[in-house]
Chains A and B, each alone.
Chain A
Amino acid sequence: MIIEKKSPDLWVFITVIILTAIGVCMVFSSSYVMGYKWYGDSYYFLKKQLFFSIIALIVFFFAIFTDYHHFKKFALPLLILSIILLSMLFIPNLGRSAGGAKRWIKIAFLPFQPQPSELAKFALILYMAEFLTRKQLKDIKTFIKGILPSIIIVLVMFLLILEEPDFSTSLIILGISFIMLFIGGTRVLQLYSLIIASIPFGIFMLLKEEYRKIRLLSFLNPWKDPLDSGFHIIQSLLALGSGRILGIGLGASKQKYFYLPDQHTDFIFSIIGEEFGFIGTLIIIILFIILLWRGFRIALNSVDEFGTLLAAGITSMLVFQSIINVGVVTKIIPTTGITLPFISFGGSSLIMNMFCAGILLNISRYKIKEGGVN
């Protein structure tokens, strides 16, 4: 098998850059009122996002030019590191909370607080890609040797993130691991039984916390209590609806004047919809579809199974998050805090997403030479 190197996939490269640029613009447009109000500086969030973008770009290029096989040996260490970091959140004074959840780690010399769950998502994909390709095919089809180790690790991560509490990220973790197992070749029957077995557990978790129950109920009828739990989702729909086809123009959003909470993070898509209308939201969706199409093409054309699983895992994670984010703001899915990849404000997620996209591009650089000996 002769492997030749080519230039990275241009579609993915351009799409990622466009999405990040849109992100910087929309973070500014959606946050300048809030930035002024809380920090006395309209550019507060813009400055931060620009800073994150620069780091993310460096990381992006680093990943594009680093042979992805090198990451194999970091699979287990990274997994352990993310579990340690996630556990650290529960040490008092170390976890920084926002909105009632401890999701960030305070590190004295860093200008921002990293969010360990962003690292955990990638570590899990990397570990499972490595684990599932290390195993013999027949092992994967067995329960004990094939999927039990993964299930244990996933469960530990899931519970740690759930306890932050970050229900949505823990769901993403579950989703990613199912997808990885599925592509990795696990028997469909086993996956079904896993899903069925986890349903009662899921319901218990959902109802355990009062706020989740309220969110779920308010999803079913948001207009019932429009001021508290239903507030987010109604405001989001109103923002999107007010945008109509063409939008009301960049910076003109009314909903961002404190009607819409988290307008620069979880609900930034609603502001895009209000300011750029259906055309704007359609363009964003199309960009993500391009990412999905090229990402899976890269997975299919990868020179080895590790590359396939890594590419498919990364693409699925980005795509899955975008679907959930848009699903939430359009009230298809109950409200849950998930950011829109590349666009929402936030350092950890932008840097990790760009890193992952860089790896995806690196995978695209390797190709089996046509007519080569197989």
Chain B
Amino acid sequence: MLSKEKKERLTFLFILFIIFYFLLIYRLYNIQVIQSNKFEEIAQQEHLTSFSIEGERGNIYDRNLKKLVVNVDVQSLFAIPPKIKNPQEAALKISLILNLETKEVLDKLNQKRPFVWIKRKLNETEVEEIKKLNLEGLDFLKESKRFYPQKYLASNLMGFVGIDNQGLEGLESFFDQELKGLPGLVVLERDASGGEIPLSIKELNTHRDGNSIVLTIDEVIQYITEEALDKAFQKYKAKAGVAIVVEPKTGEVLAIAVRPSYDPNYFNKYALDSWKDLAITNTYEPGSTFKIVTIATALEEGVVKLDDQFYCKGWINYNGHIFHDIHQHGSQNLTDIVKNSCNVGIIQVGIRLEKKVFETSIRRFGFGTLTEINLPGEANGLIRSSKDWSKISLASISIGQEISITPIQLIMAVSAIANRGTLMKPLIVKEILDSNQNSVKVFKPKPVRQVVSVETALTMTKILEQVVINGTGMEAKLDEYQVAGKTGTGQIFDFATGKYSNSAYTSLFVGYVPAENPKISILILLDQPKGSYYGGTVAAPVFKEIASKVLPYLSIPPNQ
């Protein structure tokens, strides 16, 4: 057994340790409860005397690794208020050069803090002028500023960053986590006397640069697309315009142009609406372009054959509602009704489908759900459940009314026809690179599903070729390449009157080329063009202009 002495010594040690622990508990109580206000305040102050410096933001490249944005070193002016000898005089001089309110600057200079920003990201002349003042207590810190050398080009896609280089819109926002670097902590050193005056600044933790993203966008195709869209946008004084170029086999987006646009270098000088990427965020009624979906579904379901005959007397009564046509098309086969964009004929096909079957097919084409393109603010579009369809909905939807779609959904759906029935996920980013240009992540083409059979898709192509050869889409015809496409004139629902507007339309053209072996599919949309509004007149020529330039650029051999 243990001797009495040892027991006593163990007890003594135990009590000693317990006393230490109670001392620690008291100390912790003191720090965390009694003095916590003081410590919290100092912690907050510390955040003022130290600040983070961002790592350099990653780049955005086009598919051929051309830089679409550059980082420029700029100087930011800060003051060390305790070092400023004559705040009034300094404030006056500074505010004159930097075009700031004198009082605002003076307030900053009078602060009892050791560090205060006067103005971030100055231009060169401002820096020169401030340096000439040779004032004590003013200094510069190098920061990085985003510069978009192409200005308007793809700006709605690119987005922009805020003063702290944080992504605010577009790709800059969606890929912010990748693009932004990790911050380094910068602290202000104090002098040895314990005073409040910082001597210099040093970086405690070095920052890390952000990753770069490589887009599927081709700068040249983007330029061609923007130029063509802009011309039509100006000519027809449209409210908005969208043009998308996609590679049907991969789903890679080669160009995405939007009007109205803005210069991201001065984004705050433009209306909020001009920042939007309408191709993704806005929904439209697809109009006659949707007839592609109706006919493809009918062919797939076997409810119609190529040589079926349809008679158009200029109108059709379906469940008590009269649907009008522009012309009396007379007797037509299936190809003719698509070629002529004959509402009466299409409705006769559409109503052969079961509601539920038609709805399922529409959804399988990708309408009503997000395409999950890597861009912010994508809209769903609206496809009502077939249970909620009215007695005329089947007819309305078959000619592209009563539903809303985004331009990206429509181009992907049509690309699925071009891609032998396989719907692809739209890709906007090909690859992510780290700051040493090593690959971090690769985005591979991703098939979503087989929407219609290869046979149906090829038949559709034959029909759509006729639309361009001698139908409503003749303005999209190219001499050297066979185009497949469809025009559309979407109606615009006027929420004020609760009716379709008689004067405002959306002009659409969507198609692909070369028809037999599609390399590109293109969507053109002009929102409320003035003067003319038929898709075949307004949108089809834009398709033609883009395709005629892009195909040779891609070295696609012309038809024999």
Contacts and interface: CB of A to CB of B under 8 A. Distances in A.
Q: Do A and B originate from a single complex?
A: yes
Nearest to A279: B32
Contact of B10 (A240, A312, A327, A330): A312
Given A183-B10, A281-B32, A332-B23, 19 more contacts: A36-B182, A182-B13, A226-B190, A237-B39, A238-B43, A241-B40, A241-B42, A242-B39, A244-B32, A244-B33, A245-B36, A258-B204, A278-B32, A285-B28, A296-B10, A296-B13, A312-B13, A316-B17, A323-B20
Contacts of A227: 187, 189-190
- Per DSSP, chain B at the interface is helix
B204 A240 contact: no
A273 B5 CA distance: 40
Interface string A319-338: 11001001100101000000
Contacts of A179: 13
Contact of B28 (A183, A258, A281, A292): A281
Interface string A221-248: 0011111000000100111111111000
Contacts of A278: 28-29, 32-33
A323 B24 contact: yes
A89 B7 CA distance: 40
Nearest to B187: A227
A323 B5 CA distance: 26
Nearest to B205: A258
A245 B40 CA distance: 12
A238 B2 contact: no
Contacts of B7: 300
Nearest to A223: B194
A288 interface: yes
A65 interface: no
Interface string B47-63: 10010000000000000
A23 interface: no
Contacts of A374: 1
B185 interface: yes
Contacts of B6: 183, 185, 305, 308
B43 to A, nearest CB: 4
Interface string B140-155: 0000000000000000
What 9 pairs between A and B have smallest CB-CB spacing?
A: A241-B39, A278-B32, A238-B43, A258-B205, A244-B36, A330-B27, A241-B36, A296-B14, A258-B185
Contacts of B1: 374
A255 interface: yes
Given A182-B9, A330-B28, A288 B2 contact: no
9 contacts: A183-B10, A224-B192, A240-B31, A257-B185, A285-B28, A305-B6, A316-B17, A319-B17, A330-B31
A146 interface: no
A174 to B, nearest CB: 15
Contacts of B205: 37, 258
User: Which of B9, B14, B208 neighbours the largest number of chain A CB atoms within 10 Å of its CB?
Assistant: B14
Interface string B444-467: 000000000000000000000000
Contacts of A128: none
A238 B44 CA distance: 9
A282 interface: yes
Given A292-B14, A305-B2, A323-B17, A254 B43 contact: yes
Interface in B113-145: none
Interface string A290-307: 001100100110100100
A259 interface: yes
A326 B182 CA distance: 31
B116 to A, nearest CB: 20
Interface size grouping (class) on chain B: 35 or more
Interface of B: 1-3, 5-7, 9-10, 13-14, 17-18, 20-21, 23-25, 27-29, 31-33, 35-36, 38-40, 42-43, 46-47, 50, 182, 185, 187, 189-190, 192, 194, 204-205, 208
A14 interface: no
A277 interface: yes
Contacts of A320: 17
Contacts of B208: 37
A17 interface: no
A277 B32 contact: yes
A289 interface: yes
B24 A327 contact: yes
A319 B7 CA distance: 19
A37 B187 CA distance: 18
B210 to A, nearest CB: 13
A237 B35 CA distance: 10
Contact of A240 (B21, B28, B192): B28
A183 B2 CA distance: 11
Contacts of B29: 278
Interface string A23-45: 00000000000001100000000
B19 to A, nearest CB: 10
Contact of A245 (B18, B32, B204): B32
Given A36-B182, A37-B208, A255-B43, A300 B2 contact: yes
B492 to A, nearest CB: 49
A289 B14 CA distance: 10
A308 B2 contact: yes
A232 B2 CA distance: 45
Contacts of A37: 182, 205, 208
User: Which of B1, B13, B40 neighbours the largest number of chain A CB atoms within 10 Å of its CB?
Assistant: B13
B46 A259 contact: yes
A316 B10 CA distance: 10
A9 to B, nearest CB: 16
A184 B24 CA distance: 28
A241 B35 contact: yes
Contact of B17 (A182, A225, A237, A292): A292
B434 to A, nearest CB: 9
A278 B36 CA distance: 10
A238 B39 CA distance: 5
Contacts of A319: 17
User: Which of A179, A234, A277, A281 neighbours the largest number of chain B CB atoms within 10 Å of its CB?
Assistant: A281
Contacts of B42: 234, 238, 241
A323 B38 contact: no
A241 B185 contact: no
A323 B192 CA distance: 32
Given A182-B13, A224-B194, A292-B17, A332 B24 contact: yes
A128 B60 CA distance: 66
Contacts of B18: 289, 292
B39 to A, nearest CB: 2
A282 B9 CA distance: 27
